Amino acid sequence: MKPEAIGTVGLLVIDEAFWQSGLRGLDGKATLTQEGLEPGRTSLVCYGSRGRIDMVATADLVAARGRLWKALQVAEPGPLRHGLLDAVGLTTEECRNAATLERRRMRDAGLLPGMSTMERRKRIETVLPPAGEPWAPPGRCATLWLILAEALETGHDAAGAELARERTESGSVRALRLRWRSRLRGGWAAEAPILHLDATPRSELVRTNLPRIDIGAPVAARQSHVRIRQVTGSPTSARALTPAADAPDRDRKSAATRLRDLRAWIGLRARQCHRPGQAVDLLVVGQKAAIDALRPGGLPPRVEAVHFNALSGLDRWGGIGGMILLGRTLPAPRTVELIATALTGRVPVPNPEGAGWWYPMAERRLRLAGDRTAPLAMEAHADPIAEAVRWSICEGELIQAIGRGRGVNRTADTVLEIDLLTDVVLPVTVDALVPWAEIRPTRRDLMALSGIVLENAADRAACFPDLWPSAVAARQDRSRSVTNCYYRDLYNSQMSHSSAEVNYRPAGPGHRARTAHIDVTRIPDPEAWLTNRLGSLASFESCQDNCAATGVAAQATEAARLDTLVSRLTANMKAVLAARHASLDALAARLEATTFVALRRSAFPNQTEEIDA
């Protein structure tokens, strides 16, 4: 109930996804054993306001329990059938009354603050049933009756009361598993209008709690300065990155390779999405297991990693340069069916038998730039409520994650780049659609991302034995290069001005001079790095120093050449200007003389005629 101190409520604002907060029993712990519901138990007593036994109320509850007991005796595993409840004589009114009577079974144990543990235990034992007698908590029993009342009122099976076998200390027993949806607290919704705010609402889910809600037209905000690239077929699931403890070595090695490739991709994107003045350049979002697996290997500086369902209420990534979304959160069909059951109290429509235990696949269309689309197969549940639940957990969470980058606030100077490494169709425009196989880093890419590119195959094998086990393998490696711009960092591109070229020759006969490209921010001492891996060097020369000296001399020569050119241009311009001035003076003199003669003729026309005669 609403506290009286709050007073009158003018407007009740409910945040997004509130429907999940009222779900109960999804953990499977809300159970009632069939034995605990037997009507002949001595603990089945109702009490009045003064703590005295109410015989009339007790008799009514025993009668209702008796009819329920008859149904449980013949019920088959699964939801309690509507026909069976009706056959034993239960009615909606009797079930709601029984729920009220169940709560009257509770007694005040008289617990007080400061009471010793021994005293508290003694007082609690006085209100509990005798030792060894099955216990049916009053509140849980009241919930069962309300579930049955709703089923009888709407004419469907009681999906929220599922009869199954449960293991207890006494062995396997029949029990009812309860799943239900709590109602909105009284005193709030009845007093004032409700404003529900949700970026990814599903009307099927919201209306279970707010049946009379008026959902406005969706608002589509243009994000002109957001670039989305979707990568399909990427190994980003928790199973692909975190094999089980008893998994074979083959699976463990594959998982390690996938993690290595993802770290390399994250490192590249972190450099490409650098934003000066921002504390974080790149945000990585994925399943908790995947993020936990990536962290031990280390993430690049200025990269923050968080997992799905941990983004709500956070607004600190509005200035980042890029985002990478790894995978998705997709619960099993059984999970979304249980949620749908708790929401509606009904049994969801089952998936087709051909789908097995997983979802059936349905073709969706990706919206691409340029008014194009592309097909993509993804999971979909046959039941509309279960599908809405699945969408909210999967696609809805991805949309919420994308929104953390605040794409609607971006400008041409603060473009947001998003990589979707997941096979999911979202209501966004995808600028580029590529398979993971095309952008997956090769061995050469991984070498480059470490801060060095070695041209010699034998040296590559010696410095990177985990990539090339032998010089022959390094020589035969014809994997693509430059495709993903992994090498661009080391060739003085627009991305990085910290690369340098070095010439070196290992000590010993038969060795020729070799060339390598170094990122000095990652390998500040290339000579020591090469010596530690190749042994002593007969020679080492950094082209960066030579280039610096050459650059100074070139700058001086260029400055002198420019001074000479300026002097010549100045002299030529002065001569040209003098000639122009002279020409203009002569032209002005001629114009002045011509004007004087014309004025005399107009002033003395007769004199002109006499002269002419």
Once rounded to an integer, what is the mean pLDDT over residues 363-385?
95
80 token code pair: 């309690």
Q: pLDDT tier at 199 (50, 70, 90 boundaries)?
A: confident
- Cα(348)–Cα(381) distance, integer angstroms: 10
d(CA 286, CA 263): 13
Confidence of residue 536 (pLDDT cuts 50, 70, 90): very high
pLDDT score for 495: 38
Could you give the C-alpha distances from 391 to 112, 374, 378, 426, 573, in angstroms and in order?
48, 20, 11, 10, 75
CA dist., res. 442 & res. 484, Å (int) = 9
Q: Which region among 14-23, 251-260, 400-409 has the lowest average model confidence (pLDDT)?
A: 14-23
C-alpha to C-alpha distance for 398 and 426, rounded to whole angstroms: 8
The per-residue pLDDT for 534 is 94
d(CA 172, CA 537): 75
Please state the rounded mean pLDDT for residues 252-276: 91
Q: Which band of pLDDT confidence, cut at 50, 70 and 90, is reported for residue 148?
A: very high
Give yes or no for residue 94 having a pLDDT over 90: yes
pLDDT score at 478: 67
Mean pLDDT of 25-49: 89
| pLDDT score at 365 | 96
* Best CA proximity match to 268, nearest among 281, 251, 253, 257: 281
Other C-beta atoms lying within 10 Å of the C-beta of residue 203: 11
Q: How many Cβ atoms are within 10 Å of 15's Cβ, its own excluded?
A: 11
Residue % of the chain over a pLDDT of 90: 58
H helices then E strands: how many in the chain? 19, 21
- Chain segment 112-121, per-residue pLDDT in tens: 888 899 999 8
Q: How confident is the model at residue 146 (pLDDT cuts 50, 70, 90)?
A: very high
The angle subtended at Cα 168 by Cα 167 and Cα 171, nearest 5°, is 75
The count of other CB atoms within 10 Å of the CB of residue 170 is: 10
Q: Which residue stretches of 302-416 are H helix?
A: 333-344, 384-393, 395-403
Q: For 429-482, how does the pLDDT look when each residue is reduced to its tens digit (9 = 90+)?
A: 999 999 999 989 888 888 988 889 999 999 999 999 999 999 999 998 865 444
State which amino acid sits at residue 597. V
pLDDT at 590: 80
* DSSP state, residue 218: P
For residues 231-247, average pLDDT: 91
Cross-strand partners of 173: 166
Output 548 or 253, whichever has higher pLDDT: 253
Environment class of 551 (CB within 10 Å of its CB; exposed 0-12, middle 13-18, buried 19+): exposed
Residue 554 main-chain phi, psi, to 5 deg: -65, -35
3-state secondary structure (DSSP) of residue 292: helix
| Residue 609 pLDDT class (50, 70, 90 cuts) | very low
H/E element holding 453? strand 452-454
Range list of β-strands (E), 73-212: 78-80, 158-168, 171-178, 180-181, 194-196
Mean pLDDT of 481-491: 47
Helix residue ranges per DSSP H, 415-499: 436-439, 443-449, 457-463, 471-476
Mean pLDDT, range 89-118, rounded to an integer:
92
Q: Which pLDDT score is estimated for 600?
A: 55
Among 31, 350, 42, which residue's Cα sits nearest to residue 174?
Answer: 31
pLDDT for the residue numbered 491? 41
Question: What is the end-to-end Cα distance of the chain in Å, rounded?
Answer: 128
Q: What integer pLDDT is reported at residue 490 of this predicted model?
A: 45
Handedness of CA 237, 240, 243, 247 (dihedral sign): positive
Is residue 163 within 8 A of residue 176, CB to CB? The reply is yes
- The model's confidence at residue 31, banded by pLDDT at 50, 70 and 90, is very high
- Least Cα distance to 40 among 101, 129, 127, 144 occurs for 129
pLDDT value of residue 550? 45
**Residue 469, CB half-sphere, CA atoms under 13 Å: how many?**
0
Residue 350: the pLDDT is 94
Query: CB–CB of 338/159 below 8 Å?
Result: no
Tokens, residue 467: 């990539």
Contact assessment for residue 135 and residue 43, using Cβ atoms and an 8 Å cutoff: yes
CB 444 within 8 A of CB 479: yes
**Is pLDDT above 70 for 19?**
yes
Using one digit for the tens of pLDDT, what is the confidence trace for 540-559?
998 755 544 444 455 566 66
pLDDT confidence bin for 489, thresholds 50/70/90: very low
Q: What is the dihedral of CA 201, 206, 207, 212, to 10 degrees?
A: -80
pLDDT averaged over the chain?
A: 87
Mean pLDDT of 66-94: 96
d(CA 539, CA 511): 11
pLDDT over 70 percentage in the chain: 89
How many whole angstroms separate alpha carbon 598 and alpha carbon 302?
A: 85
Report DSSP letters for 152-183, one per residue: HHHTS-EEEEEEEEEEETTEEEEEEEE-EEPP
Question: Between residues 595 and 371, which one has the greater pLDDT?
Answer: 371
Q: How far, in Å, CA of 188 to CA of 456, rounded? A: 74
Average confidence (pLDDT) over 535-544: 88
On the question of pLDDT at 85 being above 70, the answer is yes
Closest CA to 358 of 340, 339, 382, 338: 382
Q: What is the pLDDT of residue 492?
A: 40
- 204-208, 302-306, 597-601: the lowest-pLDDT one: 597-601
| Mean pLDDT, residues 100-107 | 92
Lowest mean pLDDT among 108-117, 143-152, 396-405: 108-117
